[in-house]
A and B are shown apart, each in its own frame.
Chain A
Amino acid sequence: MTADPANANTYESLWRRLVLGRNPKRTFIRIAVLVVTVTVLRAFVFLPIETNGPSMEPTYRDGINIVNQLAYVFHPPRRGDVVGIRVAETGHSIMYMKRIIGLPGETISFHHGKAFINGEPLDEPYLKYHSDWEMPPETLGPDEYYFTGDNRSMPRPLHTQGRAHRSRIVGKVILWRNLPAFSLLSD
């Protein structure tokens, strides 16, 4: 059995062209640009996270979501936004996923499960479960926000909620729920 060197060369050049393209230099540049773009987007803009826990039910259930880290570049966080809150002072390996209900300087309270802002009841159409939370009025500091989950049927001591500084907010959660599981915690 003999090999045909001409045929072998043809196959080799075909493979080379399929893998590296007509101009290998350009292909490498394209790959580099793609890798840099994806890395930058992943690190500084869209952060994929896995949600875990019942505190944001029924709005969000366990699954993959995306945190937009540039959501608050041009405006401050708004009431009703669902955000990722870093658990430690730095980093975002693990976050709480909560809804902002109180803005800086406001006074928050709960009575018969209903949230009150500066004494006025807050309209929260996303709440589907009955709640009996009670909390005396609490005034937020200049850069503080008040966060809770949507599942307020849980007893308040078991539901991680409360105030935190603006610097704790990583970004706004983009609804992309119920995709099978990546870590965002919502207890």
Chain B
Amino acid sequence: MAKFTRFFVVIGLIAAAIVAWRVLFPNPERQVHNRLVALAKAASFSGGDGNFAKLAYGNRVADFFAPDIEVDLGAAAGQTLRASGRDDLLEKLMVGRAALDWLKVEFLDISVTVAPDRQSAIADLAGKATSSKEKDFFVQEMKFTLKKIGGRWLIVRVELVKTLSSASAAPF
């Protein structure tokens, strides 16, 4: 029995060490993954936010993006979002924030491909959004391009991907 106990303790310690190593020293893929999860969290807001939180919202989200960000979300969920540059994005985020009581954003099934020079990465994911305006949630495949700028992974481009495509379908 003591052998069994020792065996499980050793296995547990090894597993804990691996988890601790991955948390403390994440590889670039994990860093980008964590960054996108943090963005989804930052982009979500609840109805009970005060005025200060509302004002801070735009800056909190824009902080994830590079100054020369290009966002092209076309006509997703009936809303058109195209922004060129962080200031333009900030402005549109604030308009969007004012139009909704609450918003929950989730990025699911994130797959990250880091370039060989480890200075840029592309992430493909399924974005899921639930808002106070729509009864059903909205889902869309998205592609994020990130660059390492000043030691931080910043988003330089966001675009929609058509999972089911058709040559004659309406463009985004």
Contact = CB atoms under 8 A, between A and B. Distances in A.
Interface string B128-172: 100000001101110000000000000000000011111111100
A96 B109 contact: no
A168 B162 CA distance: 12
Contacts, number: 77
A99 interface: no
A94 B168 contact: no
B108 interface: yes
B169 A157 contact: yes
A129 to B, nearest CB: 19
Contacts of B136: 52-53, 187
A162 B162 contact: yes
Contact of A85 (B124, B125, B163): B163
Given A52-B137, A91-B111, A162 B166 contact: yes
- Specify which of A52, A53, A87, A93 lies most central, judged by the most chain B CB atoms within 10 Å of its CB: A87
A87 B165 contact: no
B43 interface: no
B109 A185 contact: no
B110 interface: yes
Nearest to A91: B109
B126 interface: yes
Contacts of B125: 88
A131 interface: no
| 3 interchain residue pairs of minimum CB distance | A91-B109, A162-B164, A162-B166
Contacts of B128: 94
Nearest to B108: A93
A135 B166 contact: yes
Tier of interface size on chain B: 20 to 34
Interface of A: 52-53, 85-94, 96, 98, 135-136, 138, 147, 156-157, 160-164, 168, 185, 187
Nearest to B113: A89
Contacts of A160: 163-164
Given A52-B136, A52-B137, A168-B163, A88 B168 contact: no
Contacts of B164: 85, 96, 98, 147, 160-164
A156 to B, nearest CB: 8
Contacts of B124: 88-90
A157 B170 contact: yes
B106 to A, nearest CB: 9
B169 A87 contact: no
A161 B166 contact: yes
B139 A185 contact: yes
B11 to A, nearest CB: 14
B165 A164 contact: yes
A164 B163 contact: yes
Interface in B97-126: 108-111, 124-126
28 contacts: A52-B137, A85-B164, A86-B126, A86-B163, A87-B108, A87-B139, A87-B163, A88-B108, A88-B126, A88-B141, A89-B111, A91-B109, A93-B109, A93-B126, A94-B128, A94-B139, A98-B164, A135-B168, A136-B168, A138-B167, A147-B164, A156-B169, A160-B163, A161-B166, A162-B164, A162-B165, A168-B163, A185-B139
Contacts of B168: 135-136, 138
Nearest to A160: B164
